[in-house]
Structure 1
Amino acid sequence: MTTLTFDSLNPATGEVVGTHPRQGPDAVREAVGRAAEAAAWWGGLGHPARRQRLLDYKAVLTRHLRELSRLVHEETGKPVGDATLEIVLAITHLDWAARHARKVLGRRRVGTGMVGLNLAATLEYLPLGVVGVIGPWNYPVFTPMGSIAYALAAGNAVVFKPSELTPGIGVRLAELFAESVPEQPVFQAVTGLGETGAALAADPRIGKVAFTGSTATAKRVMAACAENLTPIVAECGGKDAFIVDADADLARAADACLWGAMSNAGQTCVGVERVYVVDAVYESFMRELSGRVTKVRAGEDYGPITMPGQVDIIKRHIDDATKSGKIVTGGPGSVRAPYVEPVIVEDVPEDSPAVREETFGPTITVRRTRDAQEALELANASAYGLGGTVFSRNTRRAMELARRMRTGMTAINSVISFAGVPALPFGGVGDSGFGRIHGADGLREFARPKAISRQRFPMPGMNLTSFTRGPSELERLIRLVTFLHGRRKR
């Protein structure tokens, strides 16, 4: 029987990077079956043994850093330096997950309270079994490893479906894992198109699905998961805002804003897409921003648009924005597929697609606001809620703005810095999805809490969970509860 295949292409040149099998439902079912057996072995190893193997895997990835960076560069078109940074961040997260899993998930005693004085109680977090990970193409190592590393550290086996645009790097990640854990197929990659991911999400043996992609696709994945009540963590799109307060360091703010918007050709879920600048510093900030953007070049500082269909969306947003707003740099002529030169447009109406919809390209809209409060209100007036940025020298005000920003993460006087802190959870609200990867929350995301209570001795005169319970025992309970909880606290 002929095996169907597909090619991954270098988006900058159109050259074939690799050819991979289109694995259908049967192949996915076989992979999940192997993973189920491997999960029993991997989960039974315990935290210390898994920690050692994951740290070995970290070392293997580090030794192959240059090779992996080159492969990411070829499949996405991004500069090798950006690919290297992405993989380094993934390595640091793998290290954190391996070293902290036992502390976060391991068994611990918890208090029982006065009513449960005769009990001992423990809480621990146990593996789910097999976790299905459906990864994106824009950060094909860092983003899926945020699920893979934490799921593995929690004791699960993983079946990973990388994007059809970047299958080679996904396959290589799984191959290198086998060098550290050759005993069982704990981490497998399955390649293919949409039907491959659909088969993975629909398999009833999957304990959880970790999905990264568009909001629309997330809804379809959720529908497939719903058939088996399979839980899902969904990291979807964003329309992240960048607030510049009146006392901000404008040079640093402009530098961070430009990189947050243009790096990776703007193909970053937590990239800067909307900028709100307080009136008092608007002109000065725009001079800084417009002066810096002239030095940024597509094809040199960032790569091509990886997904060909995204070019049409970017062009539609630019066309709409430039009809109603004021062009600072670039314009409709900036779109020269597969590249898009930087585009900055001022005074675009808030109901414009360029402001409301995710563009996922090297473009930003900039708006003047009366004050930081108005900037915050505009920032929060979005269906998305992934990340955001605040620039201000006033730490107290910056913290308050960051807390009130309707996002899962906010950076202050930096951009996207939260992604590089392994202890911080990563995820959004609203149309940006739900659930968390990274940090202690990310470890717990891929485990199930197990609560155990054990009676140490019978409670004298208070056998409350028995048909032999009498009025005197109930009266003693009422007196105890009244003593503990009946007094009003001042």
Structure 2
Amino acid sequence: MSLLEAVLDPITPTTIVDVAKSWNVVLAGTLLIVIFLSSVIFLRQRSRLLPQGWNEFIHNYKFPAESQPNWSQHYGSQAAGDDEIRSKPSGIYNPNQPQFIHSYCPATGQYLGRVPASTKEDIDTAVQRCQVAQDAWKKTSFEERKVVLRLLLEFLKKNQDQIVRIACRDSGKTMVDAALGEIMVTLEKLAWTLKHGEHALRPSSRAGPANLLIRYKTAEVVYEPLGVVLAIVSWNYPLHNILNPIIASIFTGNSIVVKCSESVVWSSRYFVEMVQSCIAKCGHSPDLVTLVCPWPSDADYLTAHPGISQATFIGSKPVAHKVLTAAALALTPVTVELGGKDAAIVLDEHLPSWRQCDGIASVLMRGSFQSAGQNCIGIERIICEPNAYDGLVKVLTERVPQLRLGSSLDDDDDKNIDVGAMVNDSRFDELERLIVDAVTRGASLVCGGQRYNHPEYPLGSYFQPTLLVDVTPEMEIAKSELFAPVMVLMKAENAEDAIRIANLAKFGLGGAVFGKRGSAATEKVVRDMKTGNIAVNDFATFYVCQLPFGGVNESGYGKFGGEEGLRGLCLAKSVCRDRFPGISTSIPAVVDYPLQNMTKAWKFVRAMNAAAYAASVKEFAISLGQLLRNMM
């Protein structure tokens, strides 16, 4: 029945139903049209906020051949054309060529090339170029800065395949892991900054003085760029770890020197060039962002450089001591993000039946095995109440052994790869030792536990996905940061005991609790777990949500990310003004220099303080009278 026929027919219950259905169709169609037209208008407006020719720039950008699937370069010294170059991925330093950093693919061992190590002269040049570029950049508006971030966002979104391949080729991770840990979080950082960054950096109006006598003053804080900032970033997320501080520095009006890890200098170079090209396309100096990668012997020169206004360090505790010692020479403030031993506490109330374990097992496996476990906020300890423990052991014992190792860039399209390579094999001996020690002390090794000699990639750095159960707090593996594809399960008597176990670690970066939403037990874990960040019924989403990120204890101090992260890259300048025209501070004659009568001056000041902070009308009136008498 058509809508017109329904209206003309005699009204019956069937007619009413048909009319309602017809109107629903009309309303739904209208809503779809409105959404479509709004989307078209939005996309056109966004296009006008990007530089001319942006689409062609994005689609015609040239990426390195090495990042292509099944890249056919040979292994080791043949690829390098130099007999002195080692054929193992761990050989980034060659004593016969100390001026170069040699790069290898961790998944295959293929030689990617060599990059000149930055010298002290290179560091001076990088800082100087940043200073010159920042002098002009600090005068730009937020809208001008947003154009650069919009172009970066579109660039990443439309070139995901190519960018992910670069990250995978240099880090060994899978494309799926890179899409989640590199692309998605970076797009979120860009989108959040575009939407909320300006609000975070607007002048902040404050309450002003509590003193009743000087309430004619206003108070605010304004946020101004610091100058040249430094980011010393780790290798585990070569794209995101570089772009995260770049995005914040660009938006806050700073320039930035990025010091990448020698382990991923090959990809870092391309990622910084990519950002520089986007900046130049928007009409600004590409020197806003510079990359340096000195050997450790010259790293202190960078950290202590007088041209650096603020630094962020992501890495290990031993290196942090050296960074902070060097930074202290120039009194450079440093935000420090170090290791983690994140615990996920699983309460019985979250899993009333072991048959419901599959969903949480998926989250825990992603938290433990993503990027081969090389994640500072990866789940390193799963601490369960008894019923949850039994259920998870049963499910994970079946699922973890099914994980497959390989190179998602080079394996056949129909071959599924779950876990990629580790960045190198330097910690394999220690990992195997910790696992053997745990088994000796009573833990049960369900699967894995040792390095993996891949039949197709004999020079790849692979470690078997490992599941250890019956781990106890006194075992060394429960205390040491693993940074590897090793899942550790521990049983707790109850929620209180689980919190106790979680807090035994010397780290405190992230954590998780799985329980009923809003329950007393869940909220107790949130409240009592000693960590800088915690996710409820999820894994690491506090980072995606752009909350201030940082830890406690040996996980470091200070915060980056979110509003606090943006403001941390600014000089918080306090500004005090007169609230009304013609009313401003004047010095009464009784306390003007030189003092004419010390006794009167003292009584005046005493009465002024009493009146300013009076607790009652009577006290105010008496104090005001004393103040006026002593003004004469």
TM-score by length of 1: 0.93
2:381 maps to 1:274: yes
2:584 maps to 1:458: yes
Cα pair distance change 1:12/1:485, threshold 3 Å = farther
Match of 1:306 in 2: 423
Deviation per residue, 1:110-169 (Å, 9 max, x gap) = 222342312122211111111111111111122333322112211110111111111133
The question of whether the paired residues in 2 share the 8 Å contact of 1:171 and 1:189 is answered with yes
For residues 437 and 463 of structure 1, what CA distance do their matches in structure 2 show? 50
Match of 2:343 in 1: 241
2:463 maps to 1:368: no
2:285 maps to 1:174: no
Match of 2:477 in 1: 354
Match of 2:147 in 1: 52
Cα pair distance change 1:161/1:460, threshold 3 Å = closer
- Pairing 1:203-242 to 2, within 5 Å after superposition: 203-242=305-344
Q: Which residue type is aligned with residue 327 of structure 1?
A: S
* Aligned match for 2:192, one of 80, 96, 102: 96
Aligned-partner SS, 1:121: strand
2:603 maps to 1:471: yes
For residues 346 and 617 of structure 2, what CA distance do their matches in structure 1 show? 49
* Aligned match for 2:248, one of 136, 145, 150: 150
Aligned-partner SS, 1:395: coil
Where do 5+ consecutive residues of structure 1 fail to align? Answer: none
For residues 252 and 432 of structure 2, what CA distance do their matches in structure 1 show? 43
Match of 2:60 in 1: none
The question of whether the paired residues in 2 share the 8 Å contact of 1:426 and 1:437 is answered with yes
For residues 406 and 270 of structure 1, what CA distance do their matches in structure 2 show? 14
2:436 maps to 1:319: yes
The question of whether the paired residues in 1 share the 8 Å contact of 2:401 and 2:447 is answered with no
- 360-369 vs 320-329, greater mean Cα deviation: 320-329
Match of 1:400 in 2: 524
TM-score by length of 2: 0.73
Higher strand share: 1
Aligned-partner SS, 2:156: helix
- 255-264 vs 233-242, greater mean Cα deviation: 255-264
The question of whether the paired residues in 2 share the 8 Å contact of 1:385 and 1:430 is answered with yes
The question of whether the paired residues in 1 share the 8 Å contact of 2:446 and 2:469 is answered with no
2:549 maps to 1:426: yes
* Aligned match for 2:363, one of 252, 256, 268: 256
Match of 1:118 in 2: 216
2:204 maps to 1:108: yes
- Cα RMSD for the two superposed structures: 2.4
For residues 248 and 524 of structure 2, what CA distance do their matches in structure 1 show? 31
For residues 205 and 223 of structure 2, what CA distance do their matches in structure 1 show? 13
Match of 2:100 in 1: 5
1:106, CA displacement in angstroms? 2.2
* Aligned match for 1:415, one of 519, 539, 543: 539
Aligned-partner SS, 2:432: helix
Aligned-partner SS, 1:93: helix
1:326, CA displacement in angstroms? 2.8
Aligned-partner SS, 2:539: coil
Cα pair distance change 1:453/1:259, threshold 3 Å = same
Aligned-partner SS, 1:482: coil
Aligned-partner SS, 2:358: helix
Cα pair distance change 1:344/1:451, threshold 3 Å = same
2:234 maps to 1:141: no
Aligned-partner SS, 2:349: coil
Cα pair distance change 1:52/1:464, threshold 3 Å = farther
For residues 348 and 486 of structure 1, what CA distance do their matches in structure 2 show? 69
Match of 2:10 in 1: none
Structure with the greater alpha carbon radius of gyration = 2
Aligned-partner SS, 1:294: helix
For residues 215 and 199 of structure 2, what CA distance do their matches in structure 1 show? 26
2:559 maps to 1:436: yes
Match of 2:500 in 1: 377
- Pairing 1:183-194 to 2, within 5 Å after superposition: 183-184=284-285, 185-194=287-296
For residues 257 and 335 of structure 2, what CA distance do their matches in structure 1 show? 15
Deviation per residue, 1:267-313 (Å, 9 max, x gap) = 11111111111013321221122122122122221111113212222
1:52, CA displacement in angstroms? 2.1
For residues 154 and 398 of structure 2, what CA distance do their matches in structure 1 show? 42
Q: Which residue type is aligned with residue 413 of structure 1?
A: N
The question of whether the paired residues in 2 share the 8 Å contact of 1:344 and 1:365 is answered with yes
1:473, CA displacement in angstroms? 5.5
Q: Which residue type is aligned with residue 223 of structure 1?
A: T
The question of whether the paired residues in 2 share the 8 Å contact of 1:376 and 1:405 is answered with yes
The question of whether the paired residues in 1 share the 8 Å contact of 2:405 and 2:420 is answered with yes
The question of whether the paired residues in 2 share the 8 Å contact of 1:319 and 1:331 is answered with no
Aligned-partner SS, 1:247: helix
Aligned-partner SS, 1:17: strand
The question of whether the paired residues in 2 share the 8 Å contact of 1:435 and 1:445 is answered with no
Cα pair distance change 1:292/1:29, threshold 3 Å = same
The question of whether the paired residues in 1 share the 8 Å contact of 2:393 and 2:469 is answered with no
Cα pair distance change 1:313/1:46, threshold 3 Å = farther
The question of whether the paired residues in 2 share the 8 Å contact of 1:239 and 1:358 is answered with yes
Q: Which residue type is aligned with residue 119 of structure 1?
A: K
For residues 477 and 145 of structure 1, what CA distance do their matches in structure 2 show? 52
By relative contact order (CA 8 Å, sep 6+), the higher-ranking structure is 1
Match of 1:165 in 2: 263
For residues 118 and 248 of structure 2, what CA distance do their matches in structure 1 show? 25
What is the identity percentage for the equivalent residue pairs of Structure 1 and Structure 2?
A: 28
